[in-house]
Structure 1
Amino acid sequence: MKTKANDFNLISKRFLEEYSKNQQPIRVNFKEMVDHIKFQDRATHSIHIYPAKLLPNIPYFFLNNDFFVKDNEFVLDPFSGSGTVLLESNLAGKNSYGCDSNPLARLISKVKTSTYNISILKNIINTLKMEIQNTTVDSNDKFPDVVNIDYWFLPNIKLQLHAILKAIKTISDDNYRDFFILCFSNCVKKVSLADSRISVPVKAKLNRETNNLHPFFDESKSKLKRLEDLDVFLKFTEIVYDNIKRFENKVKINSKSQSTKIISDDARKIGIPDESVDLIISSPPYAGAQKYIRACSLNLGWTELSSKDNLRILDKKNIGRENYSKADYLTLKVTDIVEADLLLTEIYKINPLRAHIAANYLLEMKQAIIEASRVLKKGKYFILIAANNQVCGREFKTQEYLRMIAEDAGLKTVCRLVDDIKSYGLMTKRNKTASVITCEWVLILKKE
C-alpha cells in the first residue's frame, strides 16, 4: 500500500509540473490509475442506493497520497451526497466533514462511516423478528406520510413495511436505530411498484403495450407476482445481513476509528472556523441536476425524514434545482461571468426557465465556493470535480465557470485533469433540453 501511495505522489507532482509549463488540461483515466480495487465490494460503499454517485477512484487517488493530505488531517466534502469521499477519507486514515441538503444522504453518510458491534447488530435483528410477530398492524393505522402511498405500494406490502418500521422505532440506541432505518430505507423501493431501473419513482409497466412491444413487460409482470406473496421482513433481513458483512469488511481495511461529522445541510453555510480543513474534495451538482429529492421521496417518507408536504422545501435547498415559478425568471439574473452571461442571454430568448436555472446555479455555487475557500487552510488544496453539459443545445462550460468563481475566491488553478466517462452514474440525460455528460474535469485548486 505504501508503494502505491508513493506512486500517487509522483504522479501528482508530475501532473502539476506539466500543467505549470503549458497550462493545458491533462488527459487521465482514474479507473486505470486506480484499478486494483473493486469499489462495489469495498467496505460500506454499497450500503444504500443513491443517484449519480461520484466515481470512488477519484477520491481514493487524492486521499491515499500525502502530497495532498496526511494521516489524521481533516477532509471536507461540502456536497457529500451518500458519503463516497467521507468513507474513503476514513479508510485512508483521515478525518472528514460532510454537508448535504438531503436528509437521506446525510443518514447514509452517517451510517456508512459509523462503527458498530457486529454481535449487537445480529442480536437486534433477532429481537426485531420477535417484536414484529407481536406487532398488530391493520389498514386503520396511521401510516408514515409517504407521497401517494397507495399508488406505490400494494396493501400487503404497506402493512408489512409499517410493522417493520414500528419495530425499528423501539430500538433505544440512536446509532443502532439509524443502521436499521437505513436498511429499511434500502428495502422500500425494492418492494414498491416503482421501476428499479429508473432513479426517480416511475411505476413499472404492468400492462401490455400496443403491438406487445414493451421491452420490460415480462420483467414488470414478474415483479408484481413476487410482490403479491412477498415476505418483506425476509427481504429486509437479507439487506441487514448484507450490510453487516460490509461493516465486517470495513474493519478489515481500517480498524482505526477516524471521525466523521455531518456538519451542515447547506454548503453555503458550513459552520466551522476559518482555515480548519486540510483538503476539500467535492463533486457539486449540475445546473438542472439529478432530481435527488424526487428520487428519494419514497425513502424520505417511509423513514419519516420528511413529510410529503416538506419535499418541496427540501427541493428548494438543492443547488442546481429545476423547480421555479414564473415570477422567479421574469428577468435574467447576472452572474458577472462575462462568457456565461452572454450565453445565458441568448438562452433566455429561447427558454427563460432554463436560463434562470443555469444563472441561479452559478450564483449559488459562488456562495458555496467562497465558503469552501474560507474554511480551507492556506497552502492546501481543493479538488473540484465537474463536467460541462448543454443547455438548450448550447455548450454550458460548467467547469470553466466554476474555475473562474474559485479564482475570484482566492484559489489558484494549479492543474486541470480531464477523464472520459465510460459508465459512471453521472452519464445521464437529465431532461429534454440537457445532454449526456461524456467527460469529467478534475480541477486542482490551491489556496495561496
Structure 2
Amino acid sequence: MEVVESSTTSTSSFARTGSRPGRRDERNRTKWDFDNHVANLMERYSREGSPIEVNFREIVPFGSGVDRATHLVHTYPAKLLLNIPLFLCNNSILSPKGGLVYDPFCGSGTVLVEAILSGRAAFGADANPLARLIAKAKTSPINRIILESALDEILKSISGRVKQAFSPVVDVEKWFLPAIATELSKLLAAIRRTCQGDVLNFMEVCFSACLRQLSLADPRLSVPVRVKGAELTERIKAFDKPVEIFERYARLNIERLQRIRNIAPPIGFGHDARTGHHELAKVPIKADLVITSPPYAGAQKYIRSSSLSVGWLGLAPENKLRKLEALNIGREHFFRAEYDGAAYGNLYGAEKEIERIQAIYPLRAHIAATYILEMEQAARSMVQALKQGGHLALVIGDNHVCGRPFATSIYIKTIFETLGLSVKLEMVDIIKSRGLMTKRNRAATSIDREHVIIFRKD
C-alpha cells in the first residue's frame, strides 16, 4: 500500500536524514499532496502582499543529495533543489493530475523527473546538449534485462584496435593521463558500436558520469580546475580502471532507472528556451504549468563545467566550446565591437544599474543587459506555451555585478507582469548556494536567497 504524505507531515528525524530506518524506498513510493499548503500560502500572500519566507527542506522533508528516482544518475552544476518541483507538481491548484508541465531551462531534468513522478506529462528545453542527453536518460524507462544485456555486450566488445577520439574543445592531455584517455576512448567506441537509441543515450550518460572521477580536475569544483602538487600525486594514486568505474556507474544507474519503469517519458525536448515549445509540434503545445529556474547573468558557467563530457561525446558545434556557449542565455563572452558604446533601451527597471555598471566595466554591463533582453524573449515564449488559466513558477535568485546587488528576480518578475501574468504567490527560501562559486573563484558571488514566484495567466 502506498504511504500518503500530507503537507502537514512532521519534520523531525525524517526531515534531517531524508529517510526513516527500514523504509529506504519511501522517498520513491510516497504519494504527496500539497493542495492545502499552497492554498494557505496563496491566501496569506493575497492578504499581506509581501514575499513569504519558507523552507522547502521542511515542507518536503528530504535532505541534500537524496537518492530519489533518477535524480542522481549524473551530476550537473547548480541543480534545482528537487524539493521545490516536487512541491509545485504535487497539487491540483497549480496543475491537474494528467496535466502538462514544461521547463524551458530544464538542465539535467529535475523538474521533468518530478513532473512525471507526480502523474503529469512533461516536456523540456535546454541549450546545452549534455543537459538534454542527461534529462532524456533520466526520464526514459528501459527494461533492466535490456540494459544489463547491453552492458555485458559493451564490456565484451572493448578492443585495443577501435577507439573514439576526443573532440578538441579543451586539451585532453591537460585533464587526463595518457593511459586513462586511451582506455576511455576504447570504452566509448565499444558503447557506440554496440548500442543505439535510448540505450545508447543511457550508456553515454553513464560514461560521462565517471569522467570527473578519472580526470585531473579538482573534484571539489564544478568548473574544471587542474589539481597540482601533492594533491595531483594523491589523485593519480587513487585512480581505478576506467572500465571498472564505468561498470559500477552503469549498474547503479540501471537500478535507479527501474524506479521510473511505470511512467511515460517526456513528450520531447527543445533546444532553446526562446523557441522550445514550437520545436516539438506543428500545433503549439499548451502547458498547464511552467516550472523553470533560469540561469542568471554572467555567473553560471554551465558549458565550461560540462567541457570534459562535451569533449568526449563530441557535442560542441564545429568542436568549439565558444560556439556552444554562444547558444546560452547568460553567457559571458562577447567581442568588444558588440558592447563598445552599446545602447539598450527598455531593461525592465534595470536601466540605471546598467548605466552604473557600464561606466565601470562595459563588458559586464553588456552581459547583464543582454541577459535581460534575451530573458524577455524567453518569457514571451513561456507565456505563449502556457494555457489560459495556467500557472508559471519562476525559481530565481539575485546575484552581484561589479560589487553591487543585481535584482535579477525583480527585473524578470517585471517582464512577466508586463506580459500580462499576475503574481499569486511569492516565496523566499534561504539557501546554500547552488551556483558554481568556490573559494578559488573569488570574482563571483553566491546566491543565498531564492525567490519562487507563482504567476497565473488570467
From 373, 379, 384, the counterpart of 1:363: 373
Gaps of 5+ in 2: 8-31
1:434–1:135 distance in 2 versus 1, CA, 3 Å: closer
Counterpart for residue 242 of structure 1: 252
From 348, 352, 365, the counterpart of 1:342: 352
Counterpart for residue 40 of structure 1: 66
CA distances 1:318-376 after superposition (whole Å, capped 9, x unpaired): 11111111111112442514631011101110111111111110000000001100010
- Mapped to 2, the partners of 1:222 and 1:36 lie a distance apart of 34
Quick check: 2:142–2:199 contact (8 Å CA) kept in 1? yes
From 337, 345, 370, the counterpart of 1:327: 337
Counterpart for residue 379 of structure 1: 389
The answer as to 2:209 corresponding to 1:186 is: yes
Moved more, 32-41 or 311-320: 32-41
- Mapped to 1, the partners of 2:386 and 2:205 lie a distance apart of 32
- Mapped to 1, the partners of 2:106 and 2:427 lie a distance apart of 21
- Mapped to 1, the partners of 2:315 and 2:92 lie a distance apart of 38
**Structure 1 residue 234: Cα displacement:** 0.6
- Mapped to 1, the partners of 2:33 and 2:237 lie a distance apart of 53
- Greater RCO (CA < 8 Å, at least 6 residues apart): 1
1:381–1:291 distance in 2 versus 1, CA, 3 Å: same
TM-score (ref. length: structure 1): 0.90
The answer as to 2:269 corresponding to 1:263 is: yes
Partner secondary structure for residue 40 of structure 1 = coil
- Mapped to 1, the partners of 2:300 and 2:99 lie a distance apart of 31
Counterpart for residue 136 of structure 1: 161
From 5, 10, 16, the counterpart of 2:42: 16
- Mapped to 1, the partners of 2:419 and 2:150 lie a distance apart of 49
Partner secondary structure for residue 260 of structure 1 = coil
- Mapped to 2, the partners of 1:353 and 1:36 lie a distance apart of 41
Moved more, 428-437 or 175-184: 428-437
From 115, 137, 154, the counterpart of 2:141: 115
Counterpart for residue 72 of structure 1: 98
Moved more, 182-191 or 360-369: 182-191
Counterpart for residue 435 of structure 1: 445
Partner secondary structure for residue 261 of structure 1 = coil
The answer as to 2:136 corresponding to 1:145 is: no
Q: Partner amino acid for 1:126?
A: D
The residue correspondences of 1:40-439 to structure 2 (distance < 5 A) are 40-132=66-158, 134-136=159-161, 143-146=165-168, 147-205=170-228, 207=229, 217=230, 219-227=231-239, 230-248=240-258, 250-251=259-260, 255-270=261-276, 271=278, 272=281, 273-274=283-284, 276-306=286-316, 309-337=319-347, 339-421=349-431, 423-426=432-435, 428=437, 432-439=442-449
The answer as to 2:14 corresponding to 1:4 is: no
CA distances 1:136-179 after superposition (whole Å, capped 9, x unpaired): 25xxx672214211121111111100110111012243111111
**Number of residue pairs aligned between Structure 1 and Structure 2:** 426
- Mapped to 2, the partners of 1:40 and 1:424 lie a distance apart of 17
CA distances 1:221-276 after superposition (whole Å, capped 9, x unpaired): 2211233xx3210111011111112113x14xxx4322303431110012154461
- Mapped to 2, the partners of 1:393 and 1:159 lie a distance apart of 45
1:333–1:434 distance in 2 versus 1, CA, 3 Å: farther
Gaps of 5+ in 1: 208-216
**Structure 1 residue 127: Cα displacement:** 1.5
Partner secondary structure for residue 416 of structure 1 = strand
- Mapped to 1, the partners of 2:82 and 2:164 lie a distance apart of 41
Partner secondary structure for residue 279 of structure 1 = strand
**Structure 1 residue 65: Cα displacement:** 1.0
Work out the percentage of aligned pairs sharing the same amino acid: 40
CA distances 1:393-445 after superposition (whole Å, capped 9, x unpaired): 22111000001000111111111110001x34237369655422110000000
Q: What is the aligned-residue RMSD (CA, Å)?
A: 2.0
